[in-house]
Structure 1
């Protein structure tokens, strides 16, 4: 088992192509070909976490947050980031982080919060744009089924709860190869007409490399004619935050107490209560003040997030209750999710949940 084997599985759960542009995700420290002795899963990679990895004989740390976020010009140990990097390298420990790639997954950070709160009828709060692509290609009719199936096998043609979706139109294609050509049908230098099927499929952007490999491997032509278009269609499975509904509406104070219990928090900072039942709930783990207007736009009764600043609470405008439960607290169950998913794949391998509390905020 190598570091790359673990990474390959993580990136089926949270493809890095969906991470936000500002983020720093992927393998941050280490060699992909290193044989893994054990995996320690954590929310943050601190020195204490590296020490825990050493103690538990884990040479790969899978961390939600990236320890390296901005550029490092020197690594001298002058701050906590540099000390972590030095200690990890000295002890041959690799560090991998997925952060907003997992934030944007339907069953990721925010889906986990929804599970904890028992929310139903879920949808993405802010769908990520430009995540759906369309491939159009032209294939001899006799080869159309082979090419179509290859594209399906590569992840093309999946729409919501349906797969193997395509649109097909039969027609006539024309081409004339030059003296350097080697046409599969027809004769070089002679205009040729071929009965073809136009195949159109959509696919999520993270499988594009595999889609093109499948197309070129299965298509009979020397020069494959194809078009790729980025669609504006909304993708309700990729994006920041989620919105769902409680099975039954709850009175505000009762809901706040329910939220404290379920999310295991000692206090909640919130905007003014509105004296109306809570039914529709928007959530966004981590720093989510930027999505207050989105939560209001979907007519949520409460918006659960973290790191809301003083003046940002005014944005509630008596339209919604903003509940700040703390950054660590909103993401605390993420490492449990990662351990669960890794153990499903590598069930006979050491996948260990870190017991180090990395929350930098303390409450008196």
Structure 2
């Protein structure tokens, strides 16, 4: 046997501070983090066509030390997120929007899902839920206009519980024995609640008022239709949630002091850090035309801005014909490219999430995320 001699050599260990990993911060369980993100901005604020929430979930348990923020999740951005040891990617735009029939290496969006799962990285997207927030994307975009008051163009309604009543049905019953039969049948239908105690009206009839979900309403109506001799004087009302203050899509902004269109263009370029924007002058308008009312929508604004009375429309992109319609009404249109009207919000979002999550995890911004359209 050969004896070996080991010589110990003193070494110097140098501690280097990394902006990516802050040792003073702790981990968060993914489910707890998602719950907290949903508390920060209810996903019920999102448009019904949108695809929001947790889109890719690694097998549990999964903890998060680093939350990575990006406007768009491209393959280049994914590579950056993996290099920075992200545990969860918050991508403002949902990388999964239409249903996927295959998860292969064929398309770039499929490859994103594969790489996320292979590297145990979750993907979460808030999209239009953040558009509607009082301090969300559209409110951030409005900061570039100067001092103004703003309100949502399409206000959001208070969120509903899935089992909460959407309709009220009221009807009258003549006899006490019929009341017992009706109430017994109603109790067997899920998601029905008696909102008012049964009461007797001037004609000595008992008036019943029920709150129902849409599904339960159909069952109540079906029962009544089969027992027409039991009731009369039926009314069906649709129940609407109240509008939420400062919450909703787009913003209608009224400036404290009107400014020239040329001045407004420079303000917007400075706020968005852009050297150029695209401008469509309204009929009869010039760069000296005064601007007092601005309607804006981050991203693609055609649908939200359509029909809104304003001196200026500000958005990322609009269709050719919608621009022509606006210009024909004397409305100026400024286009900044889609994600240029959104991306700058991420810096504000990082600060807000830091406070909301009580600095428990590292939150970093993508450095490779950018709008795909460039001026050349």
TM-score between the two structures when normalised by the length of structure 1: 0.69
Question: How many Å apart are 1:326 and its aligned residue?
Answer: 1.1
Residue 328 of structure 1: which of 324, 333, 339 is its match? 339
CA distance in 1 between partners of 2:147 and 2:278 (Å): 21
Per-residue CA deviation, residues 338-362 of structure 1 (Å, 9 max, x unaligned), is 2112111331421111111232212
Inter-partner Cα distance in structure 2 for 1:267 and 1:354: 23
**Cα contact 1:132–1:233 (8 A) shared by 2:** no
TM-aligned CA deviation for residue 254 of structure 1: 1.9
- Contact 1:130/1:230 (<8 A) preserved: no
Q: Could you say which residue in structure 1 is the equivalent of 2:87?
A: 59
Pair 1:45-2:73 in alignment: yes
- Which residues in structure 2 correspond to 1:72-111 (within 5 Å)? 72-111=100-139
Quick one: which of 287, 290, 293 aligns to 2:306? 293
Contact 2:152 2:251 in 1 (8 A): yes
Q: Which residue in the other structure is 2:324 paired with?
A: 314
> What count of residue pairs does the alignment treat as equivalent?
278
Tell me by how many angstroms 1:120 deviates: 2.1
Deviations 1:225-271, CA, capped at 9 Å, x for gaps: xxx97326544433210112233211112221222222222322222
Superposed CA offset, 1:59-103 (max 9, x none): 110110100000000011211101111111110100000101111
State yes or no: 1:118 paired with 2:150.
no
Task: State the alpha-carbon separation in 2 of the partners of residues 130 and 30 from structure 1.
Answer: 28
CA contact (8 A) 1:64 1:334 kept: no
**Distance in structure 2 (CA, Å) of the matches to 1:68 and 1:238:** 26
Structure 2 counterpart of 1:6: 33
**Corresponding position: 1:302 with 2:315:** no
Residues 1:292 and 1:315: Cα distance change in structure 2 (over 3 Å): farther
Q: Per-residue deviation at 1:25?
A: 0.6
The match for 1:20 among 5, 22, 47 is: 47
Q: Distance in 1 between matches of 2:147 and 2:295?
A: 10
Answer yes or no: is the 8 Å Cα contact 2:301–2:316 preserved in 1.
yes
- SS of corresponding position for 1:360: coil
Q: 2:5: which partner in 1?
A: none
SS at structure 1 position matched to 2:105: coil
- Alpha-carbon distance in 2 for matches of 1:234, 1:130: 6
Task: Tell me the equivalent position of 2:190.
Answer: none
- Report the counterpart of residue 362 of structure 1 in structure 2: 374
C-alpha separation in 1, matches of 2:335 and 2:107? 29
Structure 1: give runs of 5+ residues left out of the alignment.
Answer: 136-174, 179-192, 194-227
Normalization by structure 2: what TM-score?
0.67
Note if contact 1:126-1:294 (Cα within 8 Å) is conserved in structure 2: no
Bigger shift: residues 79-88 or 237-246: 237-246
Q: Give deviations 1:28-62, integer Å, cap 9, x for gaps.
A: 11146411121111111122222222211111101
Q: Distance in 2 between matches of 1:329 and 1:358?
A: 8
Deviation string, structure 1 residues 317-342 (Cα, Å, up to 9, x no partner): 23311111110111112222321121
Over aligned residues, Cα RMSD in angstroms?
2.9
Task: Look up the SS of the partner of 1:322 in the other structure.
Answer: strand
Other-structure match for 1:255: 264
Structure 2 CA distance, aligned partners of 1:122 and 1:108? 13
Large movers: runs of 4+ above 6 Å: 132-135, 175-178
- 1:203-244, Cα deviation, whole Å (9 max, x unpaired): xxxxxxxxxxxxxxxxxxxxxxxxx97326544433210112
| 1:265 aligned partner | 274
2:296 is aligned with 1:283: yes
Secondary structure of 1:17 counterpart: helix
